[in-house]
A and B are shown apart, each in its own frame.
Chain A
Amino acid sequence: MSGTTQELDARGLNCPLPILRAKKALNGLQPGQTLRIRATDPGAVKDFDAFCKSTGNELLSSEQNGGEYVFQIRKH
């Protein structure tokens, strides 16, 4: 398993941009690599959960940090 983590800053972006940007970033990763996303859109919490369920990528964590949301997704 590769430990590489890529960062994606989706702060200030609204639905569906965080998902679209994340999808684009995941396209550039190898299976097993992790994408860490920072977002401010509260809708992203449910959206990333649904996104991972339908794409088969693994949602490692979904946390709230003040007004910010941090997601970690491992590419399938």
Chain B
Amino acid sequence: MPNAAEKLSGGIASELLQQHGAALDAWFDDRFARKLKEVEESKTPSLAIIATKGTMDWAYPPFILASTASALGWDVSVFFTFYGLELLRKELHLEVSPLGNPGMPMKLPFGPKWFQGINWNIPNAVMAGVPGFEKLATSLMKKTVRNNGVATIQELRDVCVGAGVNLVACQMTVDLFGYKRDDFIPEVKDWIGAASFLPIAQKSDVCLFI
């Protein structure tokens, strides 16, 4: 049972609320919005990427996003797992495969403009059957990249390393595929598992699986 004093103060409070409730609400809302904005503006955004692909084309999205985010001043972590570990090798040997990839334009990066514009329709059977087709496609892709002033994967990775991007690798993949830690660049900051990466992902503002 509330005592007399509590009853009295409760009465005063409800009277105050009745008289000034709307003004108090407006004051609180305004102050809360300003505080929230302040907190948001002083926060460093963060990005967490899970890189799972080991081909040259799929190496671009994680490294472009990670290097650009670091240039924007964000905190960036990239977790390399399965074939994504190829992106951390000391010597990068990334290739591109047009086989089973109907979205990939098959254009030649030399000759007159009309010739470069042709999209060669090469049957899957040819791509699969001709020895060295992937090597050829890779070297053509590299030339296209050079012609267009697009960064190399090595260049983007160097930016990430230089900017202190948190590059972490999946220990399970290393064991699974029989790799040695020594195969990879020494800037790999940690060798971890899913249980260690998820808390990083949980705290990040942007999390991408690539």
- B31 smallest CB distance to A (angstroms): 25
Give the residues in chain A near B73, CB-CB below 8 Å.
Answer: 54-55
Count the B residues whose beta carbon is within 8 Å of the partner chain — how many? 14
Once bound together, how far apart are the Cα atoms of A41 and B149, in whole Å? 9
Q: Which one, A17-25, A30-38, A63-71, is touching chain B? A: A17-25
Give the residues in chain A near B72, CB-CB below 8 Å.
Answer: 51, 54-55
Pair A20/B149 contact, Cβ less than 8 Å: no
* Residues 107-156 of B contacting A (Cβ, < 8 Å): 148-151, 155-156
Tell me the nearest residue of chain B to A39, going by C-beta. Answer: B149
> What is the total of A-B residue contacts with beta carbons within 8 Å?
38
Binary interface profile of A, 1-25, with partner B (CB < 8 Å = 1, else 0)?
0000000000011111101101100
* Residues 152-209 of B contacting A (Cβ, < 8 Å): 155-156, 159
Q: Which one, B2-10, B21-29, B63-71, is touching chain A? A: B63-71
**Residue in A14, A15, A20, A40 whose CB lies within 8 Å of B159:** A20
Count the A residues whose beta carbon is within 8 Å of the partner chain — how many? 15
Pair B149/A51 contact, Cβ less than 8 Å: no
Give the residues in chain A near B150, CB-CB below 8 Å.
Answer: 14-15, 17
Give the residues in chain B near A41, CB-CB below 8 Å.
Answer: 149
17 A-B contacts (beta carbon < 8 Å): A12-B149, A13-B149, A13-B151, A14-B149, A14-B151, A15-B64, A15-B150, A16-B64, A16-B68, A16-B71, A17-B151, A20-B67, A20-B68, A20-B156, A51-B72, A54-B72, A54-B73
Which 6 residue pairs spanning A and B have beta carbons closest together? A23-B71, A14-B149, A16-B68, A12-B149, A13-B149, A14-B150
Q: Which residues of A contact B (CB under 8 A)?
A: 12-17, 19-20, 22-23, 40-41, 51, 54-55
